[in-house]
Amino acid sequence: MEEKSDIVDATDDDRISKLPEPILHHILSFLHAKDAARMSTLSKVWDSAWNSLPYLNFGNKLFSKSKDIPRLLRAVDQALANRKKHKISIQKFSLWLPHYHELCYVSSWIKILIACNIKELKLRVNRPVYEGVLDYNSMTEAIFDAKTLNVLSLDGFNIEMPSDDGMIKFTSLRELHLSDVFLDEQFLKALCTGSCNLEDFSLQDFDGLASFQVAETSLPKLKRFIYKDEDASDEDEKPCCASLPWKCWRHTLKKVELQNFALMEQQELGNYFFANADISEMVEIPGECSL
């Protein structure tokens, strides 16, 4: 009888489970999706909180360490399908796929995320190797239908113009982070034109871009632009040193970070921005390259 009484008392003391569901969501948002799903076994309350959780962070090690990739893919499918079925808006979705073979799932996932009004999307897929050459993964055009996106991070993709009308309308996008991607001037120009509320923009380790030019009316709210050329050397051509007509940013750009440029190039870029923009901070991060 005493043991039964102890169990009842322990249940009564479970005050966390009695918290409002939004607070439980906040608690689970700090966990990777795998750990958050485990919490669902504790009680019906936690099960409900997991199945309605608007934050899905699958982390960067889950797939790389798993010996049962198909099971994990089904788990992601199920988590997204359940939220679409119950019309749950997804605030954040983060996933790293170490194998490009699973890329076929990405298109359907993005479509579901769009239907769930995704706000923040972080997606990385390791680049494939064809005939000894490192290639880029194709990004589905469905991504351009994500009108509710506030934050977008893409890594490992070839990002091309939409084939229908060539228009990009990320009117809600505030942050854009592109790393290890292939893109050209036409796409970047359309991106800037269609992202009128963009405030934070970073480019890192990319191919295909020979120059970066935007119109006077582009990116009116841009506050920070970060360019990181990780593979820069003395022999490399610096895309952003080839053309510097970024006058459309001169009144809103407040901070510039330069990394892995030779000293002469940093000085040239620094002189330009200080002469043509109202920046308050110039950060020069030394790289391995030299004069």
Q: For the whole model, what pTM was predicted?
A: 0.73
Please check whether residue 199 is in contact with residue 255, taking contact to mean a CB–CB distance below 8 angstroms. no
Q: pLDDT digit string (tens) for 117-169?
A: 999 999 998 887 777 778 888 899 899 989 999 999 999 999 988 887 778 88
Secondary structure of 107-142 as H, E, C letters: HHHHHHHHHCCCCEEEEEECCCEECCEECCEECCHH
User: What pLDDT does 232 receive?
Assistant: 44
- pLDDT higher at 290 or 19: 19
Task: List all residues 6 or more positions away from 93 whose beta carbon is below 8 Å from its beta carbon.
Answer: 56, 57, 109, 113, 118, 120, 121, 122, 123
pLDDT tier at 62, thresholds 50, 70, 90: confident
Average pLDDT over residues 185-213: 82
pLDDT tier at 59, thresholds 50, 70, 90: confident
- pLDDT higher at 63 or 117: 117
Q: pLDDT digit string (tens) for 225-277?
A: 887 655 444 344 334 433 433 334 445 556 666 665 667 767 777 777 666 66
The answer to whether residue 27 scores a pLDDT higher than 80 is yes
User: What pLDDT does 276 receive?
Assistant: 62
Q: Are strands 133-134 and 129-130 parallel, antiparallel or unpaired?
A: antiparallel
- Mean pLDDT of the chain, nearest integer: 78
- Going through 180-287 in order, the beta strands assigned E by DSSP cover 200-204, 224-228, 255-259, 281-285
Task: Tell me which architecture the domain covering 54-230+252-264 has in CATH.
Answer: Alpha-Beta Horseshoe (3.80)
The answer to whether residue 187 scores a pLDDT higher than 50 is yes
Residue whose structure tokens are 């005493």: 2
- pLDDT higher at 40 or 69: 40
User: What pLDDT does 204 receive?
Assistant: 85
Cβ neighbour number for residue 269 with a 10 Å cutoff? 20
Phi-psi label, residue 90: left if phi above 0, alpha if psi -120 to 50, beta otherwise: beta
User: What pLDDT does 192 receive?
Assistant: 84
Average pLDDT over residues 192-206: 88
pLDDT tier at 193, thresholds 50, 70, 90: confident
User: What pLDDT does 9 receive?
Assistant: 44
Please check whether residue 226 is in contact with residue 257, taking contact to mean a CB–CB distance below 8 angstroms. yes
- pLDDT higher at 212 or 239: 212
Q: pLDDT digit string (tens) for 87-131?
A: 999 999 999 988 777 778 899 999 999 999 999 999 998 887 777
